[in-house]
Structure 1
């Protein structure tokens, strides 16, 4: 996925109120923009960090700029949580996700579970139905290791339970972790920051939910799914 129009380089000054950030453009202009990530963004909000912004002038937008990439630990990290679903679809089309590309029909944001929407729904007369949940990953505190989540996510635990329910109903369910940084080669659950999520993951695996992790290649020009990486968890049902 290429960035069109091209991203604008800047220096991050601060991120605040979850939805906002201040930055200095290369021209010296100070701007306030929107942050398309409501999570903690742990390790990615250091003042003075190099960052890249999208720019869209529209009468319906309060802020022309949005935060897209932040440089951390010597690498570019994608923070836009609106990107992962599309990137996972690209990974499916590229054959990175096993048999998921063989399903005849694909749709997005379909209602299921209890007041939830599945990110990607796959349907096929012979293969049946597969529910694909996507989580954005950008947290890294040990070299080469991505971790999820970086803070408590009751919503994420709920999604794992609902995926297990789909398996119990006779369907297929897959948890995909989309890693928006390319300096890692494996993923692990962040059990110390959210034990409840880790327990929900273990239960989901015991019920037959599958899981995989995709690492992206990121440059200021584009972001693209690159390869699958190992998930370091016992009891894992790897994607087939």
Structure 2
């Protein structure tokens, strides 16, 4: 798989995390002496990614209507790896990778649509790929490093993640191609597994989904202060 660097929109500023609080707020002491409160764009527990004093990088953008001056983007983990905590970037990285044909199992499709609802009352899926055929793709951002190159998902109990898997099973049962894509935005991870010790129900449903024909793949994205580098596929050990 070829590599591709997706640059950030603005240069990132380094600093130290003071604290994360109220889920979506983070106080950061920048290297230039300023202390800023920025948006924390991650709904998970951020296990092993949010210790006070951690080296972090933020993007500051003065936009009309913004309540906070910027966004927390990257963190250096305890083992010296970098993780991207801006989980919404996973879909943007995957969209660019699909367009460039860099995700090999999904490279044959000519058309991609984002945020597609296949049936009323059901979930929106991240991508619908078509021509030839169709493939429904749900993307999950992975930032939980367990050590020794191992990554796990989810980092907190995910009822929504279980619901997505159940619906992907229904899609596979209907004869359409269904895929769960782990976007691993952590430079210290070289394989992924379900986090059974955190959400055993998710692990059970994931294995059921695989047995029912849902494809589960993972791609490696190395965060750097310059951008996010797509680096290739990773094994999934379910």
TM-score above 0.5: yes
Q: Secondary structure at the match of 2:190?
A: strand
> What RMSD over aligned residues (CA atoms) do the two structures have, in Å?
1.3
Tell me, in whole angstroms, the C-alpha distance in 1 between the residues paired with 2:71 and 2:219.
24
Which residue of structure 1 lines up, in the alignment, with residue 145 of structure 2? 140
Does structure 1 conserve the Cα–Cα contact (< 8 Å) formed by 2:59 and 2:70?
yes
Does structure 1 conserve the Cα–Cα contact (< 8 Å) formed by 2:115 and 2:127?
yes
Does structure 2 conserve the Cα–Cα contact (< 8 Å) formed by 1:96 and 1:228?
no
Which residue of structure 2 lines up, in the alignment, with residue 68 of structure 1? 73
Q: Secondary structure at the match of 1:131?
A: strand
Give the counterpart of 1:58 among 38, 42, 63.
Answer: 63
Which residue of structure 2 lines up, in the alignment, with residue 118 of structure 1? 125
Are 1:88 and 2:108 matched, yes or no? no
* Dislocated runs of 4+, deviation >3 Å: 93-96
Q: Deviations over 1:58-104 (max 9, x none)?
A: 22100011100001120111001111112112332444423422212
Alignment of 1:183-222 (within 5 A): 183-222=188-227
Which residue of structure 1 lines up, in the alignment, with residue 3 of structure 2? none
Q: Deviations over 1:13-36 (max 9, x none)?
A: 001111000011112211111101
Give the counterpart of 2:8 among 3, 21, 46.
Answer: 3
Does structure 2 conserve the Cα–Cα contact (< 8 Å) formed by 1:90 and 1:225?
no
Where relative contact order (Cα < 8 A, 6+ residues apart) is larger, the structure is: 2
Are 1:166 and 2:171 matched, yes or no? yes
Structure 1: segments with no counterpart, 5+ residues: 234-240
Q: Secondary structure at the match of 2:170?
A: helix
Q: Which range moved further: 29-38 or 95-104?
A: 95-104
Tell me, in whole angstroms, the C-alpha distance in 2 between the residues paired with 1:148 and 1:109.
22
Which residue of structure 2 lines up, in the alignment, with residue 182 of structure 1? 187
Tell me, in whole angstroms, the C-alpha distance in 2 between the residues paired with 1:140 and 1:79.
12
Distance apart, 1:211 and its partner CA: 0.7
Structure 2: segments with no counterpart, 5+ residues: 1-5
TM-score (norm 1): 0.92
Are 1:109 and 2:115 matched, yes or no? yes
Tell me, in whole angstroms, the C-alpha distance in 2 between the residues paired with 1:32 and 1:168.
47
Does structure 1 conserve the Cα–Cα contact (< 8 Å) formed by 2:103 and 2:232?
no
Q: Secondary structure at the match of 2:32?
A: coil
Does structure 1 conserve the Cα–Cα contact (< 8 Å) formed by 2:145 and 2:188?
no
Change (3 A) 1:99 1:27: closer
Distance apart, 1:37 and its partner CA: 0.4
Tell me, in whole angstroms, the C-alpha distance in 1 between the residues paired with 2:237 and 2:106.
22
